Amino acid sequence: MSDVDLSDEEHEKCREAGEILAQVRDEAAERVEVGVSHLEIARWAEERTRELGGEPAFPVNISIDEEAAHATPSIDEDTTFGEEMVNLDIGVHVDGWLADTAVTVDLSGNSDLAEAPEAALEAALELVEDGVSTGEIGARIEEVIDDYGYNPVVNLTGHGLAHWEQHTPPNIPNRAVSQSVELEAGDVVAIEPFATDGSGKVGEGNEAEIFALENERSVRNRDAREALDQITDQFRTLPFATRWLDVDRPEMALRRLERQNVVHSYPVLKESAGNLVSQKEHTVIVTEDGCEVTTER
């Protein structure tokens, strides 16, 4: 539900972000091949975003097989793609107005699993309009994924997008729920079905390369202070990657900031049974009688 009505100018910036993002997503997906490095794809997509006039809204997520979200390469990572299920989740902002999208590139030979969230998203988009309940959308997503013989990931949801905020209400579930809210015309939301051949739940792993500002406060350590200055100036409240920091020993600086509750981490989320996860996501602007998909070409 909208807390405030966005102006035409603000919606236009959401559209601009979506247009840039749709191009970056498609071009990045075409570059994902066996033997290509994760870091090469992430850096290319983030730089391509800037070339097209946007800024990354968060680090490019490259999730492999059982990984569902929050995986991004470290500064010196040399991991390359194998015969795996690859999820690309990418965000763009224009002056803080966001678009968010994701696609599965299947190199593993599990095309039905890759297709399931895409079909679920298409069905969900047919329902979106002013007054539709988020529970109804979730039920439709669950129904389609179930028809494919898979489970939705039930503890991941779609979400609202706001100025400089990647995740805001309303949550848009990937299953039928008893409590929900109604979408309103003007809402900007990301709908993102996840499908799995596993249990349907994800949990946090031990690795984290993505962080976001939690509380702005004074810090004594020089590297940590320089990192905080860059975070507040460039990223504000949006997620960022360790490899984005232009300071000496960025990992150490972030550990200090995390201990002082200045930043919080986003641990990699993994399917709890270790099974494959696929994903598809679009950002939409809700209208009176439907929706406008900003991340579709």
Annotated binding-site residue? 281: yes
Annotated binding-site residue? 192: yes
Render the burial of 243-275: b for 16+ CB within 10 Å, e for the rest: bbbebeebeebbebbbebebbebbbbbbbbeeb
Enumerate the H helices of 148-247 as residue ranges. Answer: 222-230
Query: Which residue shows structure tokens 């984005």?
Result: 244
Q: Is 163 a catalytic residue?
A: no
On whether the CB atoms of residues 154 and 194 are closer than 8 A, the answer is no
Annotated binding-site residue? 159: yes
Annotated binding-site residue? 70: yes
Q: Is 129 a catalytic residue?
A: no
Helix, strand or coil for residue 115? helix
Exactly one of 19, 84, 89, 187 is catalytic; name it. Answer: 89
Q: Is 281 a catalytic residue?
A: yes
Exactly one of 38, 93, 159, 163 is catalytic; name it. Answer: 159
- Calpha distance 103→117 (Å, rounded): 9
Whole-number Cα distances in Å, 1 to 189, 256, 262, 286: 10, 37, 29, 10
Exactly one of 11, 136, 167, 258 is catalytic; name it. Answer: 167
**Which residues, including other chains, have CB under 8 Å from residue 13's CB and lie 6 or more apart?**
94, 95, 97
The β-bridge partners of 91 are: 58, 100
Exactly one of 46, 192, 197, 223 is catalytic; name it. Answer: 192
| DSSP class of 265 | E
How many other CB atoms are found less than 10 A from the CB of residue 214?
A: 15
Q: Is 159 a catalytic residue?
A: yes
Q: Is 167 a catalytic residue?
A: yes
Exactly one of 67, 100, 187, 271 is catalytic; name it. Answer: 100
Q: Is 264 a catalytic residue?
A: no
Annotated binding-site residue? 167: yes
- Could you list the residues known to form a binding site, using ranges: 70, 89, 100, 159, 167, 192, 281
Catalytic positions are 89, 100, 159, 167, 192, 281
- Could you list the residues known to form a binding site for a divalent metal cation, using ranges: 89, 100, 159, 192, 281
